[in-house]
Amino acid sequence: MDDLCEANGTFAINLLKLLGEKDNLRNVFFSPLSLSSALTMVLMGAKGNTAVQMSQALCLNKGGDIHQGFQSLLMELNKSGPQCLLRTANKLFGEKTCDFLPAFKESCQKFYQADLEELSFSKDTEECRKHINDWVTEKTEGKISEILGAGAIGPLTKLVLVNATYFKGKWNEQFDRKHTRGMTFKTNKEKKTVQMMFKQAEFKMGYVEEVRAQVLELPYAEQELSMLILLPDDSADLAELEESYDLEAFLRSLGMTDAFEEAKADFSGMSAKKNVPMSKVVHKCFVEVNEEGTEAAAATAVVRNSQCSRIEPRFCADHPFLFFIRHDETNSILFCGKFSSP
């Protein structure tokens, strides 16, 4: 499981770089756990070069039993206590007329606790879309209501694999609302007044020379999870941030190309029809951070058609920063992002 968590961390950083490189002022937020879980389910059915490319894009290059690792990881993550609620759920929605291989369905249930529900995409696409969206809404406590927008699926859709991840946690030491006040948040192009939270307490802090940034750890209650904030030297509140991505172009940039091309896609471990490409990978994420704690949710749908060296006494996140929500025992990054502009 250690190798898997390391791979997921590398995948998270690679994707964070890609999502943020086009627009420095754009906020970025996603769940690498949600993404890698959904894509690794697809990987179970991939063969040949398609499987090689997917493994490389997901940084799963050290071998070992990946799916057994995910089984252990998901069981560990779902053990969270009453002060920090963390739940992740997987499900497959398949076209009724498709003959999915029993071994694939059994593996999805065994390793990812994902059932396959048969729907009629070919006859009632819109009803199927609403049904899948309702499932995601339920699993994310209403924070993500539409993972699949209009036109995201069609009558030729054969399989939709969905992962929904939900987290709600209270800070181990909560912020006092009466100390929250307006402060200036600086970007390269402008300054904005935002509501800034304040807290005087002992926290783990450090300085990373390699990237010239302060790092602060804010633990959640029960200290099973924490938020890490990486604040660069360079020079709103982090309240509600919601981002949605169509990830095909980014996954192609990571070398995962065959999976999207009908002539090259090999998913013969999933169904008898080998050349059925993925048509879309949609990811939507939500986070709210306030004085009490954090609420975050993410959903991913995969659609297939025919170290610290210098201590600083003060940490003021008044300019763009990176943040990560981490499960401490497994060192897994559940959510990550870049807050660039209020």
What is the distance between the alpha carbons of residues 85 and 87, in angstroms, rounded to a whole number? 7
Instruction: Report whether pLDDT(126) > 90.
Output: yes
Distances (CA, A) of 256 to 60, 133, 250, 251: 13, 26, 9, 6
pLDDT band at 273 (very low <50, low <70, confident <90, very high): low
299 in any annotated domain: yes
> What is residue 241's predicted lDDT score, i.e. its pLDDT?
47
143 in any annotated domain: yes
For 276-295, write each residue's pLDDT tens digit: 666 667 777 776 666 676 76
214 in any annotated domain: no
> What is residue 81's predicted lDDT score, i.e. its pLDDT?
66
> What is residue 41's predicted lDDT score, i.e. its pLDDT?
87
304 in any annotated domain: yes
Average pLDDT for the chain: 79
> Does 257 or 289 have the greater pLDDT score?
257
98 in any annotated domain: yes
Residue 171: is it exposed, middle or buried by C-beta count within 10 angstroms (0-12/13-18/19+)? buried
Distances (CA, A) of 235 to 41, 185, 189, 213, 270: 41, 10, 11, 11, 49
Instruction: Report whether pLDDT(309) > 60.
Output: no
Structural domains counted in the chain: 1
Mean pLDDT, residues 200-226: 78
> What is residue 74's predicted lDDT score, i.e. its pLDDT?
87
Instruction: Report whether pLDDT(310) > 50.
Output: no
The dihedrals phi and psi of 217, each to the nearest 5 degrees, come to: -110, 125
Instruction: Report whether pLDDT(55) > 60.
Output: yes
> Does 23 or 159 have the greater pLDDT score?
159
Q: Name the residue range of residue 241's domain.
A: 2-171+236-339
Highest mean pLDDT among 118-122, 269-273, 318-322: 118-122
193 in any annotated domain: no
- Percent of the chain topping pLDDT 70: 79
Q: What is the CATH number of the domain that holds 8?
A: 3.30.497.10
> What is residue 312's predicted lDDT score, i.e. its pLDDT?
43
Residue 284: is it exposed, middle or buried by C-beta count within 10 angstroms (0-12/13-18/19+)? buried
Asked which of 46-55, 168-177, 256-265 is least confident by mean pLDDT, the reply is 168-177
- Percent of the chain topping pLDDT 90: 9
79 in any annotated domain: yes
> What is residue 106's predicted lDDT score, i.e. its pLDDT?
92
Beta-bridge partner residues of 194: 183
What is the distance between the alpha carbons of residues 264 and 17, in angstroms, rounded to a whole number? 28
Highest mean pLDDT among 1-5, 59-63, 123-127, 290-294: 123-127
Q: Is 336 left (phi over 0), alpha (psi -120 to 50) or beta?
A: beta
150 in any annotated domain: yes
> What is residue 278's predicted lDDT score, i.e. its pLDDT?
67
> What is residue 239's predicted lDDT score, i.e. its pLDDT?
42
For 60-101, write each residue's pLDDT tens digit: 977 678 899 999 988 888 776 666 777 777 888 888 877 788
pLDDT band at 307 (very low <50, low <70, confident <90, very high): very low
Beta strands in 120-221 (DSSP E): 159-170, 181-186, 191-196, 204-208, 213-219
Distances (CA, A) of 301 to 15, 91, 194, 285: 17, 10, 34, 12
In whole angstroms, how large is the CA radius of gyration of the chain?
21
